[in-house]
Amino acid sequence: MARPPPSPAFVQYIDDELLRAPLLFEQVVEGSLEQLRRGLAKLGAADRSATSDLIRGLTAHRDRLAEIYADTLREQAAQERAGEASASGRPPPSARSMSLALVEEDEVAVDVELSHTIEYVKTHAEHELRELRGYIAALVGDLDVSADHNPFRPEAHARALWSASQALPTSRGWQMQFMRQATPPLAAVLRQSYAAASSRLESMGVEPASHRTVITTTGARRSAGVETTYTPDLYRMRETMPAPLDEAAPLRYDGQQAGSGGARRENWADVARQTPNRLDRQAIELVSRLFEAIVTDERVPPDVILLISRLHGPAMRLTLRDAGVLDQQNHPLWRLIHLVTYQAEMAPDKADPERRRLLRLAQQLIEQIAAEPDQRPTIYRRAVQAVEDFLRQRLQRRLTAAATQVGALQKLEHQMLDGGEGGPDTIGGMADLPVMDTRSAELVVEASSAEPPPSNAGAGVWLSSLEVGTWARLFLSGRWVHAQLLWIGDRGELWLFGDGASDATWAVRRGALLRLHSAALAKTLTMRSLLGRAALKVQQQVAVQGQR
């Protein structure tokens, strides 16, 4: 379903913030100049001279820098609105062909500075950001505040600051120095800006969405829960569950329709009447509550929730046949749920053909499971195997599409390590490869920095643990991405990653990956335990009920 166009109030908010951007940047420059001048006396002769040059550059070019800052914010706001249009089901704009280039250590050093700026602003303006998020959510109609719709988050301002910094007539190192000096003033100015924006929206009569009470179709407000890898012992939890047939305990799950044309799910009592064993009825109650908690977890994509909820009735019937359902680590029921959810999160664009294929397969498998009168673990194992086969085929399709890139990168790797031509050999040099047939990302090329990456033995261990197909979370080009490792060079110098949200790719040097990991900007992704969060939530609910 297409998302409605942005409200006039939201468009007005964006326009107002863009009008204020040059003045905001002026305040940042003033704060930075004050800090730079105050520190001059403590510097050596060489650094004092370079700092004086930086001060003169800021003073002479401040109007141009402010223009770049505002333009960058405008471009990001437009891109975010285009991204929302893509997420609503309309096809994203076609990507133009790019030259493939390397992500080098110098560029990673910039990403590290960007991450520091972003975190500094978030820390110092935490309250103001949270308050404004509620107002913006109300403007776009997200009454449950399920996402941050503000196009002027700290990430956007940090990227705009770096864009402006690059226009300074000085070296890359001193451009980054300006960014460091500008970070505290930026945080202070943005804190005031966010608070002022909330006040303006309040004066317009906007009621922040987070202040409202929203009842979802399941009868409870969706909760983000807590991130955890711990799952309570489900066998022990079963003993604390009520058995509704003999205690008249209410059923938590309301048995909604499974979807358009779907049959109504089994009621708890209908399933429970099939067994006189109270312990079995307690197990069914536990599984029912676990499903309720999972389908109200707001971090699960809505289209995946629809699929998971279809398994609720079959899972209760399975519990009568198989006590192993409470083995949360190994049972194929939970494995299927986690696998489909995790892979859907790795490809968040709903218009992505691969994501659609995955969910279409999952829907077919779940419909087959629901139609089985005899619920046994084997049918769930077959479903897990089918999904895993699909994922292997999907990875192979992407590797085939990237074959041209891989060939060029392998040749470049040998040239770089053998001292031949073709690798970057000057600061700021470019190492463009021929334009590829496949769509590739716009990757900035920089030569390796003279400054060695931070020493971190753990980074080397982490890098050696990666294998083709592994998903990682990387901070690249000023943003966090979910990327799948597609290829490792024969000599371990070049690594090719594919973006989970698009066809974009990044070729990253080993040293750049080590620097990212050392700065906590790269880590391996693992499947989150939906069951773990659900079990903790149910455990808390039962504890509260026991105190009444």
Greater confidence, 256 or 182? Answer: 182
Residue 476 to residues 160, 197, 324, 403, 437, Cα–Cα distance (Å): 15, 29, 43, 23, 23
- CA atoms of 373 and 19, how far apart (whole Å): 63
Report percent pLDDT > 90 for the chain: 47
pLDDT at 471 over 70: yes
Q: What is the largest CA-CA distance in the chain?
A: 88
The chain-wide mean pLDDT, for the chain, equals 80
- Return the pLDDT at 472: 95
Separation between Cα atoms, residue 236 and residue 35, nearest integer Å:
60
Q: What is the mean pLDDT of residues 2-25?
A: 84
Say what the pLDDT of residue 449 is. Answer: 36
Instruction: Give the C-alpha separation, 334 to 339, whole Å.
Output: 8
Least confident of 79-83, 228-232, 306-310, 351-355: 228-232
Cα separation of 229 and 529, whole Å? Answer: 6
- Crossing angle of the two packed helices 353-371 and 312-321, in degrees rounded to 10: 50
Structure-model confidence comparison of residues 242 and 428, the more confident one? 242
pLDDT at 438: 30
Residue with tokens 């909760």, as numbered in its chain = 223
H or E element that contains 374: none
Residue 444: the pLDDT is: 26
Residue 302 Cα distances to 119, 297, 308, 325, angstroms = 29, 10, 10, 25
Whether residue 254 is predicted with pLDDT greater than 50 in this model: the reply is: no
CA distance 119 to 125: 10
For residue 547, pLDDT beyond 80: no
400-418: average pLDDT = 91
pLDDT of residue 428: 32
Q: How confident is the model at residue 4, as a pLDDT?
A: 57
pLDDT class of 221 with cuts at 50, 70, 90: very low
Average pLDDT value for residue range 302-322 = 91
pLDDT at 232 over 90: no
Q: Any idea which of 141-150, 194-203, 206-215, 408-417 has the lowest mean pLDDT?
A: 206-215
Higher pLDDT, 121 or 142: 121
> What proportion of the chain, given as a percentage, has pLDDT over 70?
78
Of residues 160 and 279, the one with the higher pLDDT is 160
pLDDT at 83: 60
d(CA 261, CA 532): 32
pLDDT tens digits for range 517-542: 999 999 999 888 889 899 999 988 88
Q: What is the mean pLDDT of residues 127-146?
A: 84
Which range is least confidently modeled, 214-228, 263-277, 379-393?
A: 214-228
Model pLDDT, residue 445? 27
Q: Which residues pair with 264 in a beta bridge?
A: 257
Is the Cβ–Cβ distance between 532 and 231 less than 8 Å?
yes
Q: Whole-structure pTM over 0.85, yes or no?
A: no
3-state DSSP helix/strand/coil % of the chain, to nearest 5: 60, 5, 35
- Give the per-residue pLDDT at 245: 60
Give 223 or 52, the one with higher predicted confidence: 52
Q: Which residue has the higher pLDDT, 269 or 471?
A: 471
pLDDT, position 269: 65
Confidence of residue 251 (pLDDT cuts 50, 70, 90): very low
